Amino acid sequence: MTKKQKKMLIRIIVSAALMIAFLFIPMEGALRFLAYMIPYLIIGYDILIKAVKGILNKQVFDENFLMAIATVGAIALAIVDNGDYTEAIAVMLFYQIGEWFQSYAVGKSRKNISDLMDIRPDYAHIEKGGHLEQVDPDEVEIGSTIVVQPGEKVPLDGIVLEGFSTLNTSALTGESLPRDICPGEEIISGCINMTGVLKIQTTKEFEESTVSKILDLVENASSRKSRSEDFISKFARIYTPAVCYSALALAILPPLVLLFLGSDPQWYSWIYRALTFLVISCPCALVISIPLSFFAGIGGASKAGILVKGSNYLETLSKTKIVVFDKTGTLTQGVFEVSAIHHNLMDQEKLIEMAALAESASSHPISKSLQKAYGKEIDRSRVSDIREISGHGIQAKVDGHEVLIGNDKLMKENQISYIECHQTGTILHMAIDQTYAGHIVIADRIKPTSKQAMQALRNCGIQKTVMLTGDIQKVAKEFAGQLGLDAFYSDLLPQDKVEKVEELLAQRPEKSVLAFVGDGINDAPVLSRADIGIAMGAMGSDAAIEAADVVLMDDDPLQIAKAIKISKKCLRIVYQNIVFAIGIKLACLLLGALGLANMWLAIFADVGVMVLAVLNAIRTLSIPK
């Protein structure tokens, strides 16, 4: 509990104790009034102050105004009639109990967000003259060398220069499994260095680092409201003044009609009904519990390593019926290795050398796998006239020889006869000086949980799973068959993926949502075009955080089903609270207007419904298995 919550709890206990004690102490007149005003002001002074400020600021119609008018009116009736002030105190007391529950629930859901905020580093160590100097992460420039000691947070993204260690990435991924790191590997900010001393060369400034972008994403998540939240906000703006005027009409019109007809106007009875009507009408249950449900849902998701950019995306995610996947790095590990060389007319090592040199300017995983297979430092002076042919391959001059390396389309375009490969994988055909030189087979591995993820998606209501890939049809078909996908599209260029998603969007059933899952680097246009973009395996990827609506900090495909389950549970609770709160309110308002409800039923209709709705809302914090 916070200091503010503890203070409120003390006020609730003291006020309740005094009210109960005064019931057993015989008092009359002014003494009784003054005695009962003590617990009333202890519990309600802040509500009265807020109500007065609202009137002065011309923002009259809110729950503070309703509570103030209802309780002050109840006190006025007690002075005139029976001297029973307990109803007024009870209304304020139970309202504050409801507010305390709401504050506690928000605090609990905020804890998951604040736990994530703990990844923000406080300092960075720079080595100067054999000593470590502590500086603000904002002051560290790109290319600087920082030192991270065991137990410290990694303050900036970079590449490990020296040291071996184990990283705790749980704050980022939601997974407690540690990750080993060694020289040459990329490291992201926000992780905790557990064992060895690491020297890291920074590759990004703090503002552009992973930790900074994640924190910005989470901090701004609550600003993007869902349709349900917008509906409740608009509803409350119209509803609150409407019930205030209705209560005023209920207090004045029936007595005037009775007076006109020559009957007893029964002012006390109708004013009491109007005050009861006001207490019942307070829209706290809706105004508090609906945003709280989404806030808790976002907090619960972040705890699982699923960052949702706003409650509007959480709502959209719950309606997902079609999931479209990129293949490489999403369903596969994205770790390419040279698995075979066929029909080569020169020595294998020489062929790999020529291929690695031709691909030396590309950052594509396939190029990196060729450079890894070559295993030597690339001499860029041996390469010239490099030209990347989108969707086909590379053309370059290596040691004066013209080298073509790419798919069968590249060979056909250059009228070079080639030999087809019957092995599964990415096939790179090579031609040197317009003569076919053989082909290299590069294989990627399916992620261990990819197949399980497809079944999990079907279990949570996904009707269609689709894979988009630039691979040839044979390779794509084998992958799709192994994973049990419903459809696949192969031989796609980057721009073809956007067109294919456009087609799928046009063909989808009405009101069904299409989600695209990609690695967030090459797939940014498709992530933006889909109804909801999910970036996975995207730690450190600016494109993922910029283009996607949901970022999965772990590259496990099973997280997609978990994200959809969290969103569905959240929306289920939101709709339960809307139906429950509005249903009870309308029933009790009718009873209040007919004089069949007293102030105690009004307390239940307001505070009781709010407490039950809030308790239901915080269920979104628990993460489905």
Residue 430 has pLDDT above 90, yes or no: yes
326 annotated active-site: yes
CB 469 within 8 A of CB 489: yes
pLDDT higher at 367 or 209: 367
Per-residue pLDDT of 545-573, as tens digits, reads: 677 788 887 778 999 999 999 999 988 98
Q: Phi, psi (5° rounding) for residue 69? A: -60, -45
Residue 248 has pLDDT above 80, yes or no: yes
Distance CA 558, CA 538 (A): 15
Q: Per DSSP, what are the bridge partners of residue 160?
A: 200
CA-wise closest residue to 506 among 480, 531, 542: 531
Per-residue pLDDT of 313-358, as tens digits, reads: 888 899 999 999 988 778 887 677 888 888 888 889 999 999 999 9
Residue 519 has pLDDT above 80, yes or no: no
Distance CA 380, CA 408 (A): 27
CATH architecture of the domain formed by 124-217: Distorted Sandwich (2.70)
Instruction: Report in angstroms the alpha-carbon separations of 605 from 484, 583, 599.
Output: 51, 10, 10
Alpha-helix runs per DSSP H in 130-174: 170-173
Q: What is the pLDDT of residue 293?
A: 79
Return the residue matching tokens 């709280």. Answer: 292
Q: Which two tokens stand for residue 436?
A: 């076919």
The mean pLDDT value for 472-492 works out to 86
Residue 397 has pLDDT above 90, yes or no: yes
- CATH topology match: 124-217 vs 334-445: no
Q: Which two tokens stand for residue 42?
A: 């202890």
Amino acid at 105: A
Residue 113 has pLDDT above 60, yes or no: no
Distance CA 218, CA 248 (A): 44
pLDDT higher at 227 or 85: 85
Q: What is the pLDDT of residue 540?
A: 44
CB-count exposure of residue 122 (10 Å: 0-12, 13-18, 19+):
exposed
Q: Phi, psi (5° rounding) for residue 124? A: -130, 145
Q: Which two tokens stand for residue 74?
A: 């109840």
Distance CA 429, CA 420 (A): 9
Alpha-helix runs per DSSP H in 118-174: 170-173
Coil, strand, or helix at residue 131?
strand
Residue 83 has pLDDT above 60, yes or no: yes
* Range among 64-73, 107-116, 414-423, 600-609 rated most confident: 414-423
Least confident stretch, 144-153, 204-213, 532-541: 532-541
Residue 30 has pLDDT above 60, yes or no: yes
CB 535 within 8 A of CB 551: yes
CATH 2.40.30.10 fits 334-445, yes or no: no
Number of neighbouring beta carbons within 10 Å of residue 35: 17
Mean pLDDT of all residues in the chain? 82
| C-alpha of 120 from chain center | 18
Is the Cα dihedral 260, 266, 267, 271 positive or negative?
negative
pLDDT band of 232, cuts 50, 70, 90: low
The active-site residue, picked from 62, 157, 326, 554, is 326
Least confident stretch, 210-219, 243-252, 284-293: 210-219
CB 39 within 8 A of CB 90: no
Distance CA 82, CA 306 (A): 58
The mean pLDDT value for 425-438 works out to 90
Q: What is the pLDDT of residue 107?
A: 66
Distance CA 149, CA 132 (A): 11
Q: What is the pLDDT of residue 105?
A: 66
Residue 278 has pLDDT above 60, yes or no: yes
Least confident stretch, 215-219, 335-339, 501-505, 514-518: 215-219
Q: What is the pLDDT of residue 417?
A: 92
The mean pLDDT value for 210-226 works out to 61
Percent of the chain with pLDDT over 90: 22
Q: What is the pLDDT of residue 228?
A: 62
Per-residue pLDDT of 529-550, as tens digits, reads: 888 988 876 554 565 567 778 8
CATH 3.40.50.1000 fits 218-331+447-624, yes or no: yes
DSSP 8-state secondary structure symbol assigned to residue 624: P
pLDDT band of 215, cuts 50, 70, 90: low
Q: What is the pLDDT of residue 222?
A: 53
Q: Phi, psi (5° rounding) for residue 126? A: -115, 135
CB 328 within 8 A of CB 450: no
The mean pLDDT value for 442-466 works out to 89
Question: What are the sequence ranges of the domains in the chain?
Answer: 1-121, 124-217, 218-331+447-624, 334-445
Instruction: Report in angstroms the alpha-carbon separations of 564 from 220, 319, 449, 491, 517.
Output: 21, 8, 17, 30, 13
Number of neighbouring beta carbons within 10 Å of residue 583: 11
pLDDT band of 74, cuts 50, 70, 90: confident
